[in-house]
A and B are shown apart, each in its own frame.
Chain A
Amino acid sequence: MDGARDIKMNSKTKSMSMIESIRDAHDVMMGRDDNVVVFGEDAGFFGGVFRCTEGLQQKYGKHRAFDAPISESGIVGAAVGMAAYGLKPCVEIQFADYMYPAYDQIVSEAARLRHRSNGEFTCPLVVRMPVGGGIFGGQTHSQSVEALFTHVVGVKTVMPSNPYDAKGLLIAAIEDPDPVIFLEPKRIYNGPFDGHYERPVVPWSKHEKGMVPEGYYAIPLGKAAIAREGREVTVLTYGTMVHVALAAAEETGIDAEVIDLRTLVPLDLEAIEASVKKTGRCVIIHEATRTSGFGAELSALVQESCFYHLEAPVLRVTGYDTPYPHAQEWDYFPGPARVGEALTKIMEN
């Protein structure tokens, strides 16, 4: 890991939504490196159904930003070929729920090109996809698929929780010499979401992480961020659930330390260990289903590395092991009430 890489910061900042900061990351990298190409379903002329690639075709031309046929395996397969040639493809899968046809290309090909050719061929590509619920998308527009990638050897898995991180992490992902899966929680594209769906939507312009430096900066993959410092319990989470965890900490008055993992593979175990050893308690939160979710891995690691510091069993708050329901969305989504209950429960021990 090159965690020591400089984070070069441009002093000028601009208010951006996560969509805009992702678009900006593409723009910065396409401007810096002719080898960066962008494609996906509706991603060219139209700029993507979430508009994350809007304007790129107009600015960089059709040979560098273009529409792809509706073939996720084709999109990733072509990207593997391009990456092996020396390009830096950054491709979009319209929804994570539609990545399954591409899974073979990711698992069997992108992830293993380097290893099986003993370094002769490599695959520096980024596969972006929106994840998570909260938009009444039902079972085919709501899934959180991170564990399907963290279990695969040879790909890195990233999930930002705000515009600032999204831009810096996407730039690092595009620069990375290996395949990176870049998961974008769609519910927080336009504003932070703490799970209080009945309240008005807050835009990123009202949030400090919505202030994004212009130009180039990279946030190294594999480094967690402390979203809230605290002494009583460590919360390990990422993506949308960072905001839910922060809300639950405020609402319960429990002094939780909320760690935004940002990158799941490679994982910042150092940051996790330091926090859990300090607080002695650990709650893990993700929106994805529970069984064999990334929380299970985190729980095992905490147990392995912090067992003698733990004052209570590690708890998980996750999605239920059912397909994401449409009408019952808010019963399914692990909101601040459920997270708050877990925080309260772990403090009773």
Chain B
Amino acid sequence: MGRENSDMQQATDKDYPPLNLHVPEPKTRPGDKPDFSHIKISPVGAVAKPEHDVSAQDIKDLAFEMVRVMDEHGKPQGEWALELDEEILRKALRAMMRIRAFDKRMMRAQRQGKSSFYMQALGEEAIAVGQQLVLQKGDMNFPTYRQQGLLFAQDFPVMDMMVQIYSNDKDNLGGRQLPVLYSFKQAGHFTISGNLATQYIQAVGWAMASAIKGDRKIATGWIGDGSTAENDFHSGMVFAGVYRAPVILNLVNNQWAISSFQGIAGGEVSTFASRGLGYGIPSLRVDGNDFLAVYAASQWAAERARRNLGPTFIEWVTYRASAHSTSDDPSKYRPKDDWEHWPLGDPIERLKQHMILRGFWSEERHIQAQAEYEDEMRVTAEKAESYGTLHAPKTKRSPAEMFENVFADMPPHLRRQRQEMGV
């Protein structure tokens, strides 16, 4: 050790006790009884719905309370309650149930070695679905890997998603990308990066471009609780606040990063939603498992963006019911039965309850639908597999393809390397 490192400064003032480091720790670990008493939940219908042109300061409390619409019987309450058409609700439930069936099938395929990787949205299906249903053609989503709901809410062909997961001949990305890091421009789905948070600021840039050009398109940015620690989250918030970009900035707080709980990302000291206030962005904290609340808050935010009133920051409170990914085992760091005790319930069950209450859905119909969607996913997966899977391709993909789309025009050094490859 060099001289310069050894002279640690000793505090001389003995009037104070020695300092010690605070490291946040979740309330429960494997073997403990689940405990969510730290999650602050407002009563259903208790939160007021502001005008669209509010300032962040006017609605400070909305960053600490929780917008909730459905009561425990599925009955809508309060100012955020909308009388949604039967058709929208059916569409939403169908999308959410199909995601769950799809996830189940794709998990299984990964276990069977047909793909390299998979990530589920179990327990948070309402969020992406609810938001997509208020968007319009031409808007652009900048999703993370857990917003398959944006595609399902548009009835996007699941075949196109599956062939990407299998990296087979029909994969629109030519096998380049890890499973689920989709790119579907025509469906307003930006190419997903594997690097966290980078796309939050890009969503803002896209929205700024729409404003620069005098267009009518808006953008949505997506980030997880854990990823808000990245610098790009801050960049996104600053630019959105400064330029009043027409963007919805979504933060999915599903309580966990991989093995680290939201306290490690700062959730212990304040709500995530409250961070928006410092940037001057109207910010909401919303029950992400309450489809009616998701729809209403998304619609409010989209309306603000379309009327050129600027960005909205929304913390969706939910729970990551599944493992982080197929590479993860959550029983190592949290109680096994956590999700069963999650106070905001299961978004599918809650929407089902509401639809039954409205009189156009039933338990029987629900069970039928579930079987139908599981069947659909099985049949589609079999068809997708007939085009090949990662380790059993139908036709060997030409290695030459990897040199394509590095640049618009292939420069000589890449041409040379491709020739050396002998293809």
Contact = CB atoms under 8 A, between A and B. Distances in A.
Interface in A34-87: 41-42, 44-46, 49, 62-63, 66-74, 85-86
Given A46-B332, A63-B20, A100-B195, A291 B116 contact: no
Max chain B C-beta neighbours (<10 A), residue from A177, A290, A328:
A328
B32 interface: no
Contacts of B116: 136-138, 326
B48 interface: no
A331 B402 contact: yes
Given A62-B23, A71-B231, A323-B406, A49 B195 contact: no
Interface stretch (B72-80, B170-178, B295-303, B341-349): B170-178
B83 interface: no
A98 B264 contact: no
A163 B172 CA distance: 41
Contacts of B178: 137-141, 326
A63 B21 contact: yes
Interface stretch (B63-71, B252-260, B353-361): B252-260
Interface in B360-417: 390, 393, 397, 399, 401-403, 406, 413-414, 417
B5 interface: yes
Interface of B: 1-2, 4-8, 20-21, 23, 25, 29, 116-117, 167, 171, 174-178, 181, 193-197, 226-227, 229-232, 257-260, 264-266, 327, 332-333, 390, 393, 397, 399, 401-403, 406, 413-414, 417, 421
A302 to B, nearest CB: 21
Interface of A: 41-42, 44-46, 49, 62-63, 66-74, 85-86, 97-98, 100-101, 119-122, 124, 136-141, 175, 177, 290-291, 320-323, 325-328, 331-332
A326 B167 CA distance: 8
Contacts of B257: 41-42, 70
Chain B facing A: main interface SS: loop
B159 to A, nearest CB: 18
Given A45-B333, A124-B5, A320 B403 contact: yes
B1 A328 contact: no
Contact of B264 (A68, A175, A326, A328): A68
12 contacts: A45-B29, A45-B260, A46-B260, A62-B23, A85-B8, A124-B2, A124-B5, A139-B177, A140-B178, A325-B176, A327-B397, A332-B402
Contact of B175 (A101, A121, A124, A326): A326
Given A46-B332, A177-B1, A322 B403 contact: yes
Contact of A66 (B23, B181, B406): B23
Contacts of A44: 23, 260
Contacts of A70: 196-197, 226-227, 229-230, 257, 260, 265
Given A98-B195, A136-B116, 19 more contacts: A45-B333, A46-B260, A62-B21, A67-B23, A70-B230, A71-B229, A85-B8, A97-B195, A124-B1, A136-B117, A138-B176, A139-B177, A139-B194, A140-B193, A141-B194, A321-B413, A322-B403, A327-B171, A331-B399
B421 A331 contact: yes
Contacts of A86: 5-8
Contacts of A69: 226, 229, 260, 264-266
